[in-house]
Structure 1
Amino acid sequence: MALAETMAPHLKAMNMAMATSITLPPREREVVALAVLHLERGEWEIVQHREVAEFMGIPKAMVDAIANERYSDQMFTDREQALLAFTRQVVRSVRVDDLIFKAVAAFYDPRQIVETIFVIGNYMMLLRISEVVELPLEGAAGAGFWKSQKQPA
């Protein structure tokens, strides 16, 4: 990010807002992030977010279910299933069909839906940066930022 000195401060500000100011609950924000990263195969970000998920109390079995797109697994609440289905359609199709939109709108208000789209888009962008520049996979620093925000679940 240091090479993008005009963009990096703005990206940092958006990520700070995502961490501290959105109304989408932190654990659900992380579920969305995990889904995006696995759908898009962002290896560096996946390594980081395994640690974040653990910090936030998301069970490994749930992370594995997300990685394998088992979004209808009984371990997910109806709310989480709707959020995951919405995330998958935004990532894969851009548009969301009426059935999926109605399902997510039953649990989330319009602001939270738009915030979710921002989270999805942010992680799609971040993983493209990390994959194209081939950040090394060794070592995870992912939970450091979230720990500094004191935001477990």
Structure 2
Amino acid sequence: MSAPRVPETDGEGPTAELLRARRGGQLSALDRLLLHSPPVAEGWNALLGALRGGTTLAADLRELVVLRVAVLNDAAFEWAAHEPIARRAGLAGPQLQALRRPDAGREPVWTPVQAAVLAYTDASTRAVTVPEEVFAGVRAHLDDRQVVELTALVGGYAMVSRFLVALQVPPPPGEVAG
């Protein structure tokens, strides 16, 4: 396994303890890199904590977004860290396989709300602009709060994936807490 472009920190200090608290006691390689900048690590921790545990989006939708962004941005770490979580959230093998295909939204494995969220994730990640018909598809299933949460989730995990890919963080050997 290769090493990231920036060495990991020792994972000590008050900011590291904040990250450990959110993650159940363990730091990931991502956390150890973020700790080079405690203010960034603290903000990241607060944002990702809110996205992972403070939204009203169903867990399957949240993990659908995370994994699709991982595929679109070629973030192997993100996929490896979230695939087990996605399975526990109810995404099945055929859905996980479909997420890896360019035309994932056309697969007959999605509920209507999952298909709408997938189309929104693809549009926002690939082109940033979300066409009106894609937005309308999400609005048919989600309220105002959930649309805001979905949009922040897509953008938040785009940030995560870009960080991981730019610093060439290798996939973890096991599951990483969200």
- TM-score, normalised to structure 1, is 0.87
Query: Distance in 2 between the 1:120 and 1:96 partners?
Result: 12
Contact kept, 8 Å, 1:33 with 1:120, in 2: the verdict is yes
Instruction: Tell me if 1:65 matches 2:89.
Output: no
Q: Unaligned stretches of 5+ in structure 1?
A: 146-153
Runs of 4+ in 1 over 6 A off after TM superposition: none
Q: Deviations over 1:89-137 (max 9, x none)?
A: 0111111111111111000112111111111111111111111222222
RMSD: 1.4
2:42 pairs, out of 5, 9, 33, with 9
Q: 1:29 aligns with which of 62, 68, 71?
A: 62
Bigger drift between 81-90 and 19-28 goes to 19-28
After TM superposition, the structure 1 = structure 2 runs for residues 32-43 of structure 1, keeping only pairs within 5 Å, are 32-43=65-76
Cα pair 1:38 1:67 within 8 Å, conserved? yes
1:26 is displaced (CA, Å) by 1.5
| CA-CA distance at 1:47 after TM superposition | 1.4
1:75 to 106, 109, 112: 109
Partner in structure 2 of residue 141 of structure 1: 175
- Identity among equivalent positions (%) equals 26
Contact 2:65–2:117 (8 Å) recurs in 1:
yes
Q: How many residues align?
A: 144
Q: Which structure: larger Rg?
A: 2
CA distance in 2, matches of 1:74, 1:26: 20
Higher relative contact order structure (alpha carbons within 8 Å, sequence separation ≥ 6) = 1
Rounded to whole Å, the distance in 1 between the matches of 2:98 and 2:150 is 20
Instruction: Report the AA paired with residue 22 of structure 1.
Output: T
In structure 2, the gaps of 5 or more residues are: 1-33
2:119 and 2:94 mapped to 1: Cα distance?
A: 18
Partner of 1:55: 88
In 1, Cα distance between the equivalents of 2:57 and 2:76?
25
Structure-2 separation of matches of 1:79 and 1:55 = 19
Contact 2:82 2:175 in 1 (8 A): no
Whether the 8 Å contact between 1:51 and 1:140 is mirrored in structure 2 is: no
Query: Normalising by structure 2, what TM-score?
Result: 0.75
Deviations 1:32-61 (A, max 9, x none): 111111111111111112222223232121
**CA distance in 1 between partners of 2:52 and 2:78 (Å):** 16
Q: Aligned equivalents of 1:101 and 1:54: distance in 2?
A: 27
